C-alpha cells in the first residue's frame, strides 16, 4: 500500500514508513496514494466471517506488497482476539453498529489494538523499538494502555493533566515491570498537549527517542476503522436490497474518513450521514460544504500531532471531483439542545440508550429521511462509545441510565505511584530519555 501526503502527492512512501515516521515533512497527513479494488474480498465474506478474519483478510489485501498473508492474519488475530463490534437490527430500515464492545468501552480500542499489533510486528521485522508519546485523559488513556500493554518492542508514555490519571491496570505500569509510563503534568490537558506538540515538532527529538504517534494523525491508527464498514456490510448484504447509508458522528472526522476509504476500496455504499459542524456543513442549497477548503493547503499550518483533525483527509478524498462530496456526504444541523430529545426518541422507540454523539447522528438520519427512503434505503447508525460514559445525561433525557459493564467499573480508580512533573519541556524530555534508555 503506497501513501502520499495531502500536501505533496509526488512523494510516495510505504505503509511501513508512514507508520514509523508518521509526520510528513510538509505538514500534511498521509493518505492512500490510489484506490484499491477490494470487491473480490468483500463479496467473498458473509455473516459467518468473524471480525478478526475480516480484518486479517483486508489487512492482507491492502498490505500484500509489504507483509505476507500469514503476518497479516497474525496482526489481526492478535489485535481482535475476543473483541468484536456488534450489529443489531432495530427496525426494517435501521441497524445499530456498536463499536464499544472492547476492553474499555471505547471505539478506539479497535484502532489502538490493530495499530499496536501492526507496529509491534513491523518493529520485530526491523529489530528496533519505538516510543509512543500521547497527551491524554480518561477513556483514551485507558484504551491506549489496554492495547499497548505487554508489547515487547513498544513503550507508551501517557501525559495526563494533573488529577486526571485513573483506571489503569497496575500490572502494565513501568514501576511494576510493564511498558506503560503514565506521567501527570502540573497543568490542564491543553498544557500536556502543548508539551507533546513541542516534542513532535522537533525532528531531532523524534529521531533520538524513536517517537511515533498513535492517534489518527498516524495512518496506521486510522486504517483499521475501515474494517467496521466492511463488517457491517457482511452482516446485512443478504437482507438489504436498496441503498445503504451510514450515519456517522462527526467527532474529529476519523470514522467518516475511514468510511470514505471503505467506499474508495469498493464497499457498496450510497452515502454517509453526519451531524454538521462549523467545519463541515451545508451551503444555502443544502449541499455538503467544507469550509476549510477556502484556505489553500500552502497557507495552512502543519497538522496538529497532539490533537489531530481528519478534515484535510476528507478534502483529499474529493480533491479530484468536489461534486462527489455533495452526492456522498450529507451533514445535518443538529442543535445541542435537540440532542436529549433524540436520546429519548431512540430509547422510546428501540429500548436502547445512546450517547450524545450517536444521538446527534440519529437526529441527522431524520434530516435525511427523504433521501434514505427514496430507494428503500437502509441506515446503519454508528455508535462509538458506551452510553455509560454519559449515564447522568442519559438519565436526565430518558429517565433511565445505562448499566455499567464490568470493564468500566474501575475507570475512576486512582493510580498509585504515578510520576508527577512540572509543565516544562526539559522535565518531559528527561522522562523520554529515561524510557528510551531502558
Distance CA 347, CA 354 (A): 8
**In whole angstroms, what separates CA 196 from the centre of its chain?**
19
Looking at the structure, give the CATH architecture of the domain made up of residues 130-209+412-437: 3-Layer(aba) Sandwich (3.40)
Contact residues for 434 (Cβ-Cβ < 8 A; gap 6+): none
Q: Where are the alpha helices (DSSP H) in 268-404?
A: 311-317, 322-328, 339-350, 356-367, 369-373, 391-398
Q: In what order do the strands lie in the sheet with 130-136?
A: 211-212, 130-136, 154-161, 180-185, 419-421
What's 298's DSSP letter?
G
What's 48's DSSP letter?
T
Q: Is the pLDDT of residue 282 over 70?
A: yes
Q: What is the model's pTM?
A: 0.94
Contact (CB, 8 A) for 38 and 58: yes
Predicted confidence at residue 374, as pLDDT, reads: 64
pLDDT digits over 300-312, tens only?
Answer: 888 989 888 888 8
In terms of C-beta density within 10 A (0-12 exposed, 13-18 middle, 19 or more buried), how is residue 426 classed?
exposed
pLDDT digits over 310-348, tens only?
Answer: 888 988 888 766 677 678 899 999 999 999 999 999 999
Domain residue ranges in the chain: 2-107+221-392, 130-209+412-437
* DSSP helix/strand/coil, 250: coil
> Would you say the CATH fold of 130-209+412-437 matches that of 2-107+221-392?
yes
Q: Is the pLDDT of residue 350 over 70?
A: yes
CA distances from 118 to 50, 101, 113, 342 (A): 19, 21, 9, 38
> What is the CB-side half-sphere exposure of residue 231 using CA atoms within 13 A?
25
pLDDT digits over 110-161, tens only?
Answer: 999 999 999 999 999 999 999 999 998 788 999 999 999 999 999 999 999 9
Contact residues for 301 (Cβ-Cβ < 8 A; gap 6+): 27
* DSSP helix/strand/coil, 150: coil
Predicted confidence at residue 167, as pLDDT, reads: 87
Q: Which CATH class is domain 2-107+221-392?
A: alpha beta
Amino acid at each position: 500500500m503506497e501513501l502520499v501526503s495531502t500536501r505533496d502527492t509526488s512523494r510516495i512512501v510505504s505503509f511501513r514508513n508512514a507508520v514509523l515516521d508518521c509526520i510528513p515533512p510538509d505538514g500534511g497527513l498521509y493518505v492512500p496514494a490510489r484506490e484499491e479494488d477490494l470487491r473480490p474480498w468483500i463479496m467473498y465474506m458473509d455473516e459467518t466471517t468473524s471480525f478478526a478474519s475480516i480484518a486479517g483478510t483486508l489487512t492482507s489485501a491492502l498490505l500484500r506488497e509489504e507483509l505476507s498473508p500469514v503476518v497479516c492474519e497474525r496482526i489481526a488475530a492478535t489485535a481482535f482476539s475476543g473483541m468484536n463490534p456488534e450489529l443489531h437490527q432495530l427496525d426494517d430500515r435501521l441497524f445499530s453498529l456498536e463499536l464499544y464492545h472492547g476492553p474499555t468501552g471505547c471505539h478506539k480500542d479497535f484502532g489502538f489494538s490493530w495499530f499496536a499489533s501492526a507496529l509491534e510486528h513491523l518493529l520485530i521485522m526491523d529489530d528496533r523499538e519505538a516510543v509512543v508519546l500521547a497527551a491524554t485523559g480518561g477513556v483514551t488513556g485507558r484504551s491506549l494502555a489496554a492495547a499497548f500493554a505487554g508489547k515487547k518492542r513498544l513503550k507508551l508514555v501517557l501525559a495526563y493533566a494533573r488529577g486526571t490519571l485513573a483506571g489503569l491496570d497496575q500490572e502494565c505500569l513501568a514501576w511494576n515491570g510493564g511498558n506503560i509510563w503514565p506521567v501527570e503534568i502540573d497543568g490542564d490537558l491543553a498544557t500536556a498537549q502543548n508539551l507533546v506538540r513541542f516534542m513532535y515538532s522537533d525532528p531531532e527529538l523524534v529521531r533520538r527517542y524513536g517517537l511515533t504517534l498513535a492517534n489518527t494523525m498516524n495512518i496506521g491508527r486510522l486504517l483499521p476503522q475501515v474494517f467496521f464498514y466492511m463488517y457491517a456490510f457482511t452482516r446485512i448484504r443478504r437482507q438489504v436490497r436498496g441503498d445503504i447509508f451510514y450515519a456517522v458522528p462527526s467527532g474529529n472526522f476519523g470514522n467518516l474518513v475511514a468510511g470514505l476509504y471503505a467506499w474508495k476500496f469498493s464497499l457498496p455504499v450510497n452515502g454517509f450521514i453526519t451531524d454538521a459542524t462549523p467545519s463541515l456543513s451545508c451551503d444555502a442549497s443544502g449541499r455538503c460544504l467544507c469550509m476549510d477548503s477556502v484556505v489553500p493547503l500552502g497557507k495552512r499550518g502543519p497538522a496538529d500531532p497532539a490533537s489531530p483533525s481528519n478534515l484535510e483527509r476528507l478534502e483529499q478524498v474529493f480533491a479530484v471531483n468536489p461534486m462527489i462530496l455533495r452526492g456522498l456526504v450529507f451533514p445535518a444541523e443538529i442543535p445541542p439542545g435537540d440532542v436529549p430529545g433524540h436520546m429519548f426518541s431512540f430509547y422510546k422507540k428501540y429500548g436502547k440508550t445512546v450517547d450524545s454523539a450517536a444521538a446527534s447522528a440519529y437526529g441527522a438520519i431524520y434530516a435525511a429521511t427523504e433521501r434514505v427512503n427514496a430507494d428503500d434505503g437502509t441506515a446503519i447508525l454508528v455508535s462509538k462509545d458506551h452510553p455509560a460514559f454519559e449515564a447522568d445525561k442519559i438519565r436526565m433525557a430518558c429517565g433511565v441510565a445505562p448499566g455499567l459493564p464490568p470493564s468500566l467499573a474501575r475507570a475512576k480508580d486512582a493510580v498509585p505511584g504515578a510520576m508527577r512533573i512540572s509543565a516544562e519541556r526539559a522535565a518531559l524530555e528527561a522522562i523520554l530519555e529515561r524510557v528510551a534508555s531502558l
